[in-house]
A = this chain, B = another copy of it.
Amino acid sequence: MRQVAVIGVGMTKFGKFIERSLKDLGREACWSAIKNAGIVPKDIQAGYMANAAGGVITGQTMVLGEVAFREVGVVGVPILNIENACASGSSALMEAWMAISAGFYDIAIVAGVEKLYASDTQKTVEALAGAGDVELEMSVGVNFPAHWALRATKRMEVFGTTREHFARVSVKNHHNGCLNPRSQYQKEFTVEQVLGAKTIASPLTQLECSPIGDGAAAVVLCESKLARKYTTQPILIAGIGMSTGTYSETRDITFNDIEARAARAAYNVSSIGPEDIDFAEVHDCFTIAEFMRVEGMGLCKPGEYDCLLERREVELGGRLPINPSGGLLAKGHPVAATGVAQICELNWQLKGEAGKRQVENARIGLAHCSGGGIAGDGAVSVVSILKKDY
């Protein structure tokens, strides 16, 4: 297997952009990534487009990749459109990484593009419901906030986690978001403000739930030897692991097997262990989720995340910053763009280009997305590990 480097990244600001189309958002992110890579569009041998809700919300389904990549001159090459709920972008990344490492292509572009703000909010709700089993789960009303609220409640009972612990995640990530010019929200909140916000599904308040948003992100991947032609600072994809839910009947809802399996696969292929990770972008769709993701991937022991928060170890300047970008809670969560945007953040951090939110001495970063499938431990989880190669 050949090694694969990230040689260019691009990302729109995340936010509410009613007037902008998927094509328009994709164009901005893809051009930025192509320019950042220092290549021309005809150098690109394949395109991987991630989008999750475009069909239901905008009507643009099936061929968004062909439509959007054409806008930046990527035509006549293999193009795939990939969905995997909140892990769509990470799944597209994995496919591109596999294809380049196997020698099918030398250079490929991966983009995640999403519009969740619709003229009719009901459409957004419908689209997001499609991330579960429509026949089974949606019919009984166990939507995402409700399900995570159950997990939060159980965690409080099992580990003694308090509502303040949960709130600290929101405070931390909103603080980081203030340092990220591409973040959807750039406003500090206190623990009291988080706890005092409107309840969405008890114990979770509005400031503990990631918002809907529009946005796009893109990365250019390149075989690592060829990458030296374009950059003296290659960032390598050390490994990517994916897993899907096993939907076991008897299970502990305070721990997600799915993240453990995906992380194990990524650690195995990269020969990098959780102890080597300098910082991580994890899928904090709800505050409780950040606890379970970090623990699930073995970055700390089950139940231990409360202490990490208390000791401020996961803040910027701490031992293991989690979600330096602001995460889904503050940076925003345009579904399929999220996984690709995480790779942009890892790239900027590893290159020392993250400005005020820079993680010091960052050499190895981890990105994690999980998505879909309300029941069981989730539908799909993808863990990517990137490292500095200079």
Binding site for B on A (CB under 8 A): 1, 21, 23, 52-53, 55-56, 58-63, 65-67, 70, 75-85, 88, 91, 94-95, 98-99, 101-104, 126-127, 129-135, 138, 242-247, 261, 371-373, 379-380
CB distance from A239 to the nearest CB of B (A): 12
Kindly list chain B residues whose C-beta atoms are within 8 Å of the C-beta of A380: 63, 66, 79
Tell me the bound Cα distance from A15 to B38 in angstroms. 50
Q: Are A134 and B60 in touch, CB under 8 angstroms? A: yes
Kindly list chain B residues whose C-beta atoms are within 8 Å of the C-beta of A81: 82-84, 91
- Given contacts A66-B372, A80-B82, A83-B83, list 17 more A-B pairs with CB under 8 A: A23-B135, A55-B56, A59-B134, A62-B88, A62-B131, A62-B371, A63-B84, A63-B373, A66-B373, A75-B245, A75-B247, A76-B245, A78-B94, A79-B84, A81-B83, A98-B104, A99-B102
Kindly list chain B residues whose C-beta atoms are within 8 Å of the C-beta of A77: 243-244
Count copies of this chain in the complex. Answer: 2
Q: Are B247 and A130 in touch, CB under 8 angstroms? A: no
Q: Are A63 and B129 in touch, CB under 8 angstroms? A: no
Tell me the bound Cα distance from A52 to B70 in angstroms. 20
Closest to A138 in B: B59
Instruction: Choose one: B63, B84, B88, B127; the contact of A371 (CB below 8 Å).
Output: B63
Q: Are A75 and B246 in touch, CB under 8 angstroms? A: yes
Kindly list chain B residues whose C-beta atoms are within 8 Å of the C-beta of A62: 52-53, 83-85, 88, 130-131, 371-372
| Cβ-closest 6 pairs across A and B | A102-B102, A61-B130, A55-B55, A63-B372, A78-B242, A81-B83
Of A67, A127, A247, A371, chain B has the most CB atoms within 10 Å of the CB of A67
Instruction: Choose one: B76, B83, B372, B373; the contact of A244 (CB below 8 Å).
Output: B76
Tell me the bound Cα distance from A46 to B82 in angstroms. 15
Closest to A85 in B: B62
Q: Are B66 and A379 in touch, CB under 8 angstroms? A: yes
CB distance from A71 to the nearest CB of B (A): 10
Kindly list chain B residues whose C-beta atoms are within 8 Å of the C-beta of A126: 59
Tell me the bound Cα distance from A23 to B134 in angstroms. 10
Tell me the bound Cα distance from A242 to B80 in angstroms. 10
Tell me the bound Cα distance from A134 to B79 in angstroms. 18
Tell me the bound Cα distance from A135 to B70 in angstroms. 13
Kindly list chain B residues whose C-beta atoms are within 8 Å of the C-beta of A134: 58-60, 67
Closest to A104 in B: B98
Tell me the bound Cα distance from A78 to B23 in angstroms. 29
Instruction: Choose one: B78, B99, B130, B244; the contact of A59 (CB below 8 Å).
Output: B130
Tell me the bound Cα distance from A372 to B67 in angstroms. 10
**16 residue pairs bridging A and B, Cβ less than 8 Å apart:** A1-B103, A21-B135, A58-B134, A59-B126, A61-B131, A62-B130, A62-B372, A63-B379, A66-B380, A70-B245, A70-B247, A75-B244, A76-B261, A77-B244, A79-B242, A102-B103
Tell me the bound Cα distance from A132 to B380 in angstroms. 29
Of A59, A61, A246, A380, chain B has the most CB atoms within 10 Å of the CB of A61
Q: Are B82 and A82 in touch, CB under 8 angstroms? A: yes
Tell me the bound Cα distance from A99 to B94 in angstroms. 11
Kindly list chain B residues whose C-beta atoms are within 8 Å of the C-beta of A135: 21, 23, 60, 67
Kindly list chain B residues whose C-beta atoms are within 8 Å of the C-beta of A65: 84
Tell me the bound Cα distance from A102 to B102 in angstroms. 5
CB distance from A208 to the nearest CB of B (A): 23
Closest to A60 in B: B134
Instruction: Choose one: B61, B102, B246; the contact of A83 (CB below 8 Å).
Output: B61
Tell whether A52 pairs with B61 under 8 Å between CB atoms, given A95-B95, A244-B75. yes
